[in-house]
């Protein structure tokens, strides 16, 4: 069932984003008087095909990993004399630029709409209160105490852990002072701290910028109450049941879930004696944790049990919501910030500050699409907006084959007053295709390594 849900979420996600991208090209092309021969969502054999009154073939194809708008063009075949004025290649360079740029532009406009919808409906989030500070971390060195609420980073207001994490992410690989403002329960006036960064690097595969800074977010205490028992696991074999409260392990008192997990992880293939409370009964059970090997080579113990989720204090939850008019500006600023962060990340990846191992391909996209769809409306819309921004920005990169490569050639034509030679364009497209295939291969390899 989960596989079907992931597959459907992926098809819906890609279908929406590809459709609006290609519709951007299509709409502007029609406004510029270009004859569109086919509007296709997907590649390969058509599963559905209809010819409209406008003469355009509308198609839904078998491979839902992209799409295309095929326009009348003398470079792709003979064009009758009476239709030459409707050919893409015969349009003024500014019109060709507008047609090519329309796809990525619509992706960015869609992101603004998606964020606007989120903010109008309301975004549920957790107040960014520092639970603990890792000793020796840059946050600890700056003197940031536990229990304070983060309200500002580098002059930008923050109201959720997502916003905090994104602001920290923008400083990866940099040096200098990061200014952080926080308030405490004792005072509503913010206290400012200067966090000194020096070539601050983060291994994004293993930790988030938030944890790399040395901040552990506040979390309600998690009681050692079993909320899930995996069939066939060590917990089920030992007789543990949902609702059991773990009181002791090997005569050591257990006060919270983290303490229980720590003991289990440190005891692969070593029998443990559990003292549990089940209703009014107290009983002893012997549990033999299985072992699993992490990517680092470390062996950990597991018993196949999950925790009962804790209840958050009402004061630690907030809803970020705006009126329809105010939400437009907020959504626009959010989109601009995400575009800037995407470009910054690409630049840092090219410079070697961020590892290329962070590139993701279709498998990761499918997994996140499925997970976000399962989590509800807000996470799915947020993921759609982020992916739409990524699609728009990446398509604008000056790489031949991509929209940005075409815009590069048309920009040169605009300056020179004549088109770039066919020979140069062909060489550029071959190099662009080689680069694109290399990046796609690397992204897919990264996907499989994550599996």
Active-site annotation, residues: 22
Look up residue 316 and give its DSSP letter. G
Q: Residue 206: phi, psi to the nearest 5?
A: -115, -15
Residue 50 CB: number of other CB atoms within 10 A? 10
**Cβ 153 vs Cβ 337: under 8 Å:** no
DSSP category for residue 274:
E
Concatenate the DSSP letters of all residues of 160-221 into one string. Answer: SHHHHHHHHHTTTT--EEEEEEEEETTEEEEEEEEEEESS----TTT--HHHHHTEEE----
* Contact predicate 34/112, CB 8 Å: no
> Do 62 and 42 contact (CB within 8 A), yes or no?
yes
Tokens for 88, please give them.
């893409």
CB-facing half-sphere around the CA of 417: CA atoms within 13 A: 0
Q: How far apart are CA 128 and CA 163, in angstroms?
A: 9
Question: How distant, in Å, are the alpha carbons of 101, 134, 351 from that of 1?
Answer: 39, 41, 42
The CB density around residue 144, as the number of other CB atoms within 10 Å, is: 21
Sign of the Cα torsion 315, 317, 323, 326 reads positive
Distance CA 354, CA 98 (A): 33
CA–CA separation, 215 and 131 (whole Å) = 8
């Amino acid at each position: 069932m989960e596989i079907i849900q992931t597959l459907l979420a992926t098809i819906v996600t890609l279908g929406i984003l590809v459709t609006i991208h290609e519709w951007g090209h299509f709409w502007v092309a029609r406004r510029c008087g270009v004859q569109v021969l086919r509007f296709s969502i997907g590649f390969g054999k058509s599963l559905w095909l209809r010819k409209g009154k406008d003469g355009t073939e509308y198609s839904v194809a078998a491979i839902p990993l992209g799409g295309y708008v095929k326009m009348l063009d003398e470079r792709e075949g003979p064009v009758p004399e009476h239709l030459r004025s409707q050919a893409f290649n015969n349009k003024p360079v500014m019109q060709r630029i507008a047609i090519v740029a329309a796809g990525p532009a619509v992706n960015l406009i869609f992101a603004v709409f998606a964020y606007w919808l989120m903010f109008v409906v309301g975004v549920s989030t957790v107040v960014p209160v520092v639970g603990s500070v890792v000793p020796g971390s840059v946050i600890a060195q700056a003197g940031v105490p536990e229990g304070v609420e983060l309200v500002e980073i580098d002059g930008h207001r923050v109201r959720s852990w997502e916003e905090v994490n994104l602001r920290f992410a923008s400083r990866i690989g940099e040096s200098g002072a990061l200014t952080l403002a926080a308030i405490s329960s004792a005072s509503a006036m913010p206290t400012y701290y200067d966090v000194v960064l020096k070539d601050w690097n983060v291994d994004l595969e293993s930790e988030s910028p938030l944890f790399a800074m040395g901040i552990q977010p506040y979390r309600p205490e998690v009681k050692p109450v079993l909320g899930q028992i995996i069939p066939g696991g060590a917990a089920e074999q030992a007789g543990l049941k949902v609702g059991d409260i773990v009181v002791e392990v090997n005569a050591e008192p257990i006060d919270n879930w983290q303490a229980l997990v720590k003991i289990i992880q440190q005891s692969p293939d070593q029998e443990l004696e559990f003292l549990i409370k089940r209703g009014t009964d107290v009983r002893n059970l012997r549990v033999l944790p299985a072992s699993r090997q992490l990517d680092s080579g470390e062996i950990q113990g597991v018993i196949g049990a999950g925790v009962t989720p804790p209840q958050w204090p009402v004061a630690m939850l907030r809803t970020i919501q705006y009126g329809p008019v105010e939400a437009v500006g907020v959504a626009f600023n959010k989109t601009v910030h995400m575009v800037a962060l995407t470009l910054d990340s690409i630049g840092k990846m090219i410079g070697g500050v961020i590892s290329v191992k962070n590139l993701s391909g279709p498998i990761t996209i499918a997994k996140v699409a499925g997970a976000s769809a399962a989590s509800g409306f807000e996470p799915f819309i947020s993921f759609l907006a982020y992916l739409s921004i990524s699609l728009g920005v990446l398509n604008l990169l000056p790489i031949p084959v991509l929209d940005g490569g075409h815009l590069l050639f048309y920009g040169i034509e605009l300056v020179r007053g004549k088109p770039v030679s066919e020979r140069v364009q062909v060489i550029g497209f071959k190099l662009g295709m080689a680069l694109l295939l290399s990046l796609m291969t690397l992204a897919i390899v990264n996907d499989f390594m994550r599996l």
